[in-house]
Amino acid sequence: MTETATYPVDDRRARRNVTVLVLAQAFLGAQMPMVFVVGGLAGQSLAENPCFATLPISLIVLGSMLSAAPVSALMQRLGRRAGFFVGAAGGAAGGAIGAWGLLTASFPLFLLGSFLTGIYMSAQGFYRFAAADTASDIFRPRAISYVMAGGLASAVIGPQLVKVTSQAMVIPFLGTYLAVIAVNLIGAFLFLFLDIPRPPVPSEDAPRGRSRLELLATPRIAVAVICATVSYALMNLVMTSTPLAVVGCGFDEGNAADVVTGHVLAMFAPSFFTGHLITRFGVERIMGLGLLILAAAGVVAIQGVALENFFIALILLGIGWNFGFIGATTMLTNAHAPHERGRMQGLNDLIVFGGVTVASLASGGLMNCSGGNAQAGWMSVNLAMAPFLALAGGALIWLVMRPRDT
């Protein structure tokens, strides 16, 4: 993979790019809560075995995992804009093939559409890195946070579009997937206003940087990757099963959409101040707080299946993800050299979304096949969080306790 030199630091340019990326996160990002709300429900209607109900969600994440490194390489070679256009094209193709699968009642086609949607999910993951490209060290945590905060609007737009479109046609959820196509085709025009320089071609004697194994052996990078993976995977584990659990416990699809709205709002609303908190209190403390809040979400969830339990647990889940994931992203961007960005960012998202893929695959099995009813399955999903939170918490404590490198 070609290495890059550093981007020119220009906070005025960075602020403009942050504005574009916030809008992209808000509008294009709306497709993610849309497909996460209806993907499991549509899968349940198409799959012969209910244990495979969340397989469409798993295929989205698998597609994201497998496309992370190629999308990162493309951005390093041709620039961020090219990679984001490819992401929108993948999202539109995924929506079109998903709609075709619903129209023909074909579960394999629906799964293929979900897999292609993962290309958009992968590209969206690089919005946060793009925000940091031209930002100064002081502005960088806030730039990342502001872009993540764009998801606040997507938390409202996506589920509301589900309410309007899910039953708008004779075939349930077909309207939702047609809306996904429109979101990608319209939203792609935002990237015309992105102003991130194409990475310069390095000279022959430019530093090559550390290998992937050497990068992962760096303590701060290793802990950042572990905490990002655990935060994202556990959030996905629980969120994937939430619509199934809400409907399975006697509520309707509108209630499920409202719970997901509350969750996604909680994922992104703290982003307005997460960067400030990291600057003031340190990234390790904010990451640790995020892991504790994720644990609290699991505790609330296993206390009962009243609608308020779902709301409180999913709101805590969103806040915990925000602190853990933004904190880990900030730690990672400060732990590698500029010419290592393409290699490390692609590797990071490959690992993160690999963990998320496993979590989403496990979610359906735990929810539908680990107990006699929806309540038992929901408890299994939330109890499964405990060992992974212990792993991430232990890694973070180890990093804090070890002597600082000189």
Residues 6+ apart with CB under 8 A from 3: 202, 206, 207, 208, 209, 339, 340, 342, 343
- In this structure, is residue 249 part of a structural domain? yes
- In this structure, is residue 339 part of a structural domain? yes
- In this structure, is residue 78 part of a structural domain? yes
Query: What's the confidence (pLDDT) of residue 4?
Result: 38
**Tokens describing residue 226:** 């572990």
- In this structure, is residue 183 part of a structural domain? yes
11: nearest Cα among 139, 181, 156, 147? 139
Domain harbouring 317, CATH code: 1.20.1250.20
What are the backbone dihedrals phi and psi of residue 72, each rounded to the nearest 5 degrees, phi first?
A: -65, -40
79: number of Cβ within 10 Å:
16
**Tokens describing residue 127:** 């919005």
- In this structure, is residue 4 part of a structural domain? no
Helical packing angle, 341-369 and 307-333, nearest 10°: 160
- In this structure, is residue 191 part of a structural domain? yes
With beta carbons less than 8 A apart as the criterion, state whether 376 and 370 touch.
yes
Domain count, the chain: 1
- In this structure, is residue 170 part of a structural domain? yes
Give SS3 for 89.
Answer: helix
Parent domain of 367: 11-196+213-401
d(CA 350, CA 119): 12
230: nearest Cα among 336, 339, 351? 351
Give SS3 for 282.
Answer: coil
Burial of 383 (0-12, 13-18, 19+ CB in 10 A): middle
pTM score of the predicted model: 0.75
The alpha helices in 31-150, defined as continuous H runs, are 31-46, 55-78, 80-103, 107-125, 127-132, 140-149
Residues 6+ apart with CB under 8 A from 364: 40, 51, 52, 53, 54, 55, 57, 58, 240, 241, 244
282: left (phi over 0), alpha (psi -120 to 50) or beta: left
Mean per-residue pLDDT pooled into runs of 10, the chain (406 residues) = 52 89 93 85 80 82 86 86 95 96 93 95 88 81 83 84 87 92 95 82 63 85 94 91 87 83 85 85 94 96 91 95 92 78 79 84 80 85 94 95 70
- In this structure, is residue 2 part of a structural domain? no
